[in-house]
Structures are given as structure tokens and as C-alpha cells.
Amino acid sequence: MEYWSMITEILSLLLLVVLILNLNYKRRVLTPAVRCFWAGLFLTAFCIVWNLFCILLIRHGGAVPYQFLVFVNTAYFILVVLSGSLIALFVFEKMLEHVYDDHCIKRARRMLGGLTLIYTAVVFLNLRYGFLFWFDREGGYHRGPLNVLGYGIVVAELGLMYLCYFKHRVSISKEMKRTIKLFPPVVLLLIVLQISDQELLLNGMIAAFVELILFLAFHSQKMGYDSITGLGNRDTFFSDLELRTAGDQPFQVLLITLTDFNGINTRCGHQVGNEFLYSAASWLEDSRTDVSVYRYIGVTYAVIMPCLPEEQSMAYRKLLQDRFEEDWTLGAYSEKLQAVFGSYLSAGEPHNANQVMEALDYMLSVMKRSDQPWVDFDRTLSSQMVRRRKISQLLKEAVEQQGFEVWYQPVYCWKIRSFCSAEALVRMKDRDGGYVSPAEFIPVAEASGMIGEIFWFVLKEVCRLISGGQIALPDGISINLSMTQLEDPDLDAKIMEVVAEYGLSPEQIKFEITEEQLSSHPVIAGDTLRKMLRRGFRFYLDDFGIGYSNAAAVAKYQFEYIKLDKSLVGEIATDDRSRLLVRNLIHMFRDLGMGVIAEGVETAEQLACLTELDVEKIQGFYYAKPMDGQKLIGFLRGYGSDRR
């Protein structure tokens, strides 16, 4: 009869209990791999308890009915191989997680299932032949000649893992690579120890060590996972992309960005907001078995999945769109998570993870501005992105080499029948000597933070021109402000410093802002505006008449002039209703104590309409196109001498 010390099994059990207590039940999204790991962990712990029970029974073998002894031990042999196979299955699931070949994982499952079945059959045959173990009439336990067969199964499974590993190593994660180097040697060492010293009981320890290594690699709360959604974060997403691109596998990435999440946070509070984020993450994880979901950034999820046939792809798109049009319910809260979707297909030219990230970031910026529910990263978007990259590069060079110029467009004033002010418009040279439109590079400069450099350069150039004393513009020169400047709480003091440095006073410089800027950050922009007004600077409201125009917002701040956008001006000569609208707007602005500048005036007909409507100031190609500072000096001089 054998006498085993139970201490190793008890220690292993304690170790497993610690792991079980540390499982992150609430936050984990239950993927098949997670389920498999949890099941393996619980079954292993149960096996150890069962084994301890077996040992106690064997110690009192004579007093226990023979059939019961056989049943309990037979069950143990089956449980051990089942728990071992579950652990192995988890390793396969994790190993093949980034390999889009369904056959591999199916083959692995079949092989594991086959080995488990064979061994189970052997355990049942053992009841008759006793080649694993048998009991004598006194209840004494004896090992059979094939007692170590179970370890043979473990070694066979390890062999399969290595085969799989070498076949797919380019697409196997770093964690898995580390794990696969660590646990097989530990397992083999413990098996050798167990076989060479029959007094030891190491089965529980083998399983517990493997579980510990896997837990540390994949399930501990570690960097790379978002604590709110339980999803991998942007870094983990990037590592996933690196593996997929290294393996040259076709795949697609869908981005889902929530468009009005601030509203939910305000209505329900941040805690409930987080729970909504978690619900959506879980739903996305469950939406298909072959998706990996990440928290890409903020309230944007990324879903990586295989390229699907057209029909399936459309069906999945519909599923996503439909779900995000329905309510999400959390206790008493029910909210719609409005979303915009983007789709990026990797099939095509080879690319690396950085290039994919750049494309996704660009697609996301387009999604945020889009009024369509889906944005596809197609050829048009791709060439826009390339152009944007070029602009970004040109901007960087222009900032480094002072490559900007400031041009000026004179503004004609009816009251004095002369040019009374000008708008400063920045220019940037292309590599081939042409100019890039500011309408194209200003948004890139705003997004990349380079707008600050441009603004200060323009301000200093304008101050230099005015302080040179060669131009006489009674209402000064206006400069366009971006949101980034309005966010600076010390903007008024900094501008004042520059203006004073050139010996100018605030009324010589005007600032143009759009209503979009005011309404996107009303508090910050409003504060800056008020501080500057107090210092004596005056503002023009730019681009009135496009998109955002809201007459109520105009009344909130004291603008010196409202600039009617060229889209509005363009229609007044041909459309009676537009003329009527502009007439009423002008009356309203005048009642509020604000003047009107009409922008984009190109024709004599437009001018005739505007003078009839009594618009004070006119800016447009009809009078002058933007020109550099030297030309402006000449233009104003020439106009002065030509005046009748």
C-alpha cells in the first residue's frame, strides 16, 4: 500500500484558491478563451480536492467498500485528464487567437478531444485489466504497468503545442511566446520528478504551476487592458495589428465611435456612463465569435476581424447599425448610444501596423465630421490622407524655416469711399513654388498644434506692417483666430505684449472668429473674448451664413462687424429670398450696434445689391484679391492717387 504525503496537493490547492479569488469576474468579457481558462482552473481545484478524498479513502482502504474505492479513483483519473485537456485547449485558443484559420483551432480541438477520449477509454478498460491501477482484496492500492500513461498524454499535448507554435510563430503574441518557453520545461521537470520518486504526489502541483504561469501571462490585471471595459487598449490593439500585418493576413478593422457620450455622462453620471461603455464592449465581443475588440481611444472601439464575403459583411454592418439605434438598458437607465462607423480593409498592398494606425486615425477624424453613418477607408480617403501627410510635412518645414507669408485683402468702405481695412491671410509655399490653400493647411495646423506658430507669425507681421507707417488703413487689419488660441487663458496679455512691442494700440488690430469656435467651447472662448474686449481689442464674427449661424449667439457678444459669408453674398443678386434674408439680418445687426462686411463680392451685380442694402464694407475679388505686404502698400497708394 502506498503512503503519500498530502502536503504538495494541499499547497497546490491553496495556490489555485488564491488565483480563483483574484480572477477579475466583473470586468472580464467572457470570450471562449476566458471561459476555458476559468473552467480549467475550477476543474483543477476540484481534481485536487477529489484526489485528497481518494488518498484518505486509500489510507483507510480496508474499511471502504471495494466498488466505491474503484469508482472514486476511476473518476479521479478521468477528471485529471479532462482538466489537463481544458488547460491545453486554453493554450491553443490563445496561441491561435490572432491566426484567422478556423481549421487550425478546429484541428487542435479535435486532437485534444481524441486524446481525451482515448485516455477515458483506457480508464474504463482499466476496470477490467488494471493496467493503470488496481486494488487488492484488503483495499490496498497498486499501480498498473501503464500508470504513467496520463503523463504520456500530457507530453503528446505539449508536442502538439510546439508544432502549432512553430507553424504560426509570426502571428503568436509576445505573452504566448514567453509562456510557451516557460511552462513545458516546468511540466516536464515535474513529470520526471514524479515518475522517479513514487512517494511524491505532484499532479496537482503540475497543474497549479501551469495555471499560475497562464494566469500571470493572460489574466492578471496588467498594463495594456482598459479597466472600464476590460478590453485591450490602444497599445494592445497595436501589438495585435503588428502580428496580423507580420503574417500578411487579410483582415478588417471597424471603428465605432460614440458621438454623443458627453450627454450620457451628464444625464446619468460617469459611473453609469462607464457601465454603458462596458455593455457596448461586451455586446461587441459577443457579436461574432471571430472578432477581437479593443478600446481604441476615448469612446471609440476597434473591432478586428477576418475579411468577410460581401453578403456577410453587409449583414454584420446592419447588425451593428441596428443595435446602436436601439436603447441600451442599465437598471433604471435607458439610453441610445449614437454611433458612427468606419471600415478599413487590409486586403491589398502590404503595410505595417504604423501605416494601418495612421489610416485608422485619419478615418476616425473623417468619421467625427461625417454626416453619414458609415465611412469606408477607400481610395479617395487614402489619397486625402496622403495629401494631408504631405501638408503636415510642408507645415513642419515652413515652421522650421519661417516659410510662411502674410497676404492682405483690402476691404472697401462705402462711407469713406476708400479702403479702410484689410484681412491678413496666411500663405504657405508648396515645394514646386505654388501656394497651398490655407483652407487646406489651416485645419491640419489646428489638428497638429502648429496653428500657434502661424498665429504669432501673422500677428507680428501685421504689427510690423502697420508700425512701418507706409499704409493708411483707419480700421486697421484683421487677423483670423483659431480655437487653440481662444483656449489660452493668457492670450489677451500675450497679444498685448506683442502689440505694445511694436508701439501699436489695440484698435489697430481686429480679430476674426467663427461662431463654430464660440459654440464648441462656449465657456473658455467666452472668457478669452471678454478679457480681450476689456483690453480694447475688437472682434469680427466670420463666415456668418454657413452651417452654424445662429442669430441668438450673435447677440451674446459685442462684435464690431459681422462678416456675411460668400455663400450668402453669392445668392443675393439672383435670389429674392436671399436678398430679403440679408436685408433683415442687416437691420437686426444694426439694431444690435454691429456693422456688416460682405465677403466674396465678385460681380458688379452683387455690389449693386449690397449698396442698395446699405452694407458698409465690401471685401472681395471685385475690388482686390489678397496680395503681399509690398503690393498692398503700392495698391493703396495707387488707389489713393487714382481717387476721384
- Using the rule CB under 5 A, give the single segment among 126-134, 183-191, 414-422, 592-600 that binds Ca ion: 592-600
Q: Smallest distance, Å, CB 423 to ligand C2E? A: 6
Task: List Cα–Cα distances, 390 to 387, 433, 457, 641, in angstroms.
Answer: 5, 15, 22, 44
Decide if residue 542 touches Ca ion (CB under 5 A): yes
Among 227, 262, 437, 520, binds ligand C2E (CB under 6 A): 437
Task: List Cα–Cα distances, 565 to 27, 515, 562, 625, in angstroms.
Answer: 51, 12, 9, 16
Distance CA 88, CA 82 (A): 10
- Using the rule CB under 5 A, give the single segment among 152-160, 438-446, 524-532, 591-599 that binds Ca ion: 591-599
Q: Is the dihedral of CA 460, 465, 468, 469 positive or negative?
A: negative
The answer to whether the beta carbons of residues 126 and 60 sit under 8 Å apart is no
Q: Smallest distance, Å, CB 494 to ligand C2E? A: 16
- Between residue 501 and residue 530, which ones bind Ca ion under the rule CB under 5 A? 512
Q: Which three cell numbers stand for residue 231?
A: 478590453
Decide if residue 425 touches ligand C2E (CB under 6 A): yes
Distance CA 559, CA 539 (A): 5
Among 171, 346, 480, 485, binds Ca ion (CB under 5 A): 480
Residue (183 or 539) nearer to Ca ion, CB? 539
The site string for ligand C2E over 498-537 (x = CB under 6 A, - otherwise) reads --------------x-------------------------
Q: Smallest distance, Å, CB 591 to ligand C2E? A: 25
Residue 609 carries which side chain, given as an amino acid letter? C
Out of ligand C2E, Ca ion, none, what residue 171 binds, judged by CB under 5 to 8 A for its kind, is none
- Using the rule CB under 6 A, give the single segment among 184-192, 376-384, 388-396, 615-623 that binds ligand C2E: 615-623
Among 157, 240, 543, 560, binds ligand C2E (CB under 6 A): 543
Among 94, 98, 244, 566, binds ligand C2E (CB under 6 A): 566
Residue (242 or 542) nearer to Ca ion, CB? 542
CA distance from start to end of the chain: 126
Distance CA 594, CA 598 (A): 13
Question: Residues 190, 196, 202, CA angle at the centre, nearest 5°?
Answer: 35
Out of ligand C2E, Ca ion, none, what residue 240 binds, judged by CB under 5 to 8 A for its kind, is none
Residue with cell 503523463: 151
Q: Is the dihedral of CA 289, 291, 295, 299 positive or negative?
A: negative
Distance CA 594, CA 582 (A): 14
Out of ligand C2E, Ca ion, none, what residue 262 binds, judged by CB under 5 to 8 A for its kind, is none
Q: Smallest distance, Å, CB 382 to ligand C2E? A: 25
Among 97, 543, 571, 616, binds Ca ion (CB under 5 A): 543
Q: Which three cell numbers stand for residue 197?
A: 520518486
Among 83, 249, 409, 517, binds ligand C2E (CB under 6 A): 409
SS (H, E, C) 23-77: CCCCCCCCCHHHHHHHHHHHHHHHHHHHHHHHHHHHHCHHHCCHHHHHHHHHHHH
Residue (81 or 442) nearer to ligand C2E, CB? 442
- Using the rule CB under 6 A, give the single segment among 33-41, 438-446, 524-532, 636-644 that binds ligand C2E: 438-446
Q: Which three cell numbers stand for residue 394?
A: 510642408
Among 73, 229, 480, 517, binds ligand C2E (CB under 6 A): 480
Out of Ca ion, ligand C2E, none, what residue 621 binds, judged by CB under 5 to 8 A for its kind, is ligand C2E
The answer to whether the beta carbons of residues 74 and 54 sit under 8 Å apart is no
Please, how many CA atoms are within 13 Å of residue 73, restricted to the half-sphere of its CB? 26
Distance CA 84, CA 63 (A): 32
Q: Smallest distance, Å, CB 613 to ligand C2E? A: 17
Neighbours of 426 (CB within 10 A): 22
Q: Smallest distance, Å, CB 442 to ligand C2E? A: 4
Residue (37 or 408) nearer to ligand C2E, CB? 408
Residue (231 or 463) nearer to ligand C2E, CB? 463
- Using the rule CB under 5 A, give the single segment among 11-19, 95-103, 211-219, 479-487 that binds Ca ion: 479-487
Residue (242 or 543) nearer to Ca ion, CB? 543
The closest alpha carbon to 245, from 170, 348, 173, 352, belongs to 352
Decide if residue 620 touches ligand C2E (CB under 6 A): yes
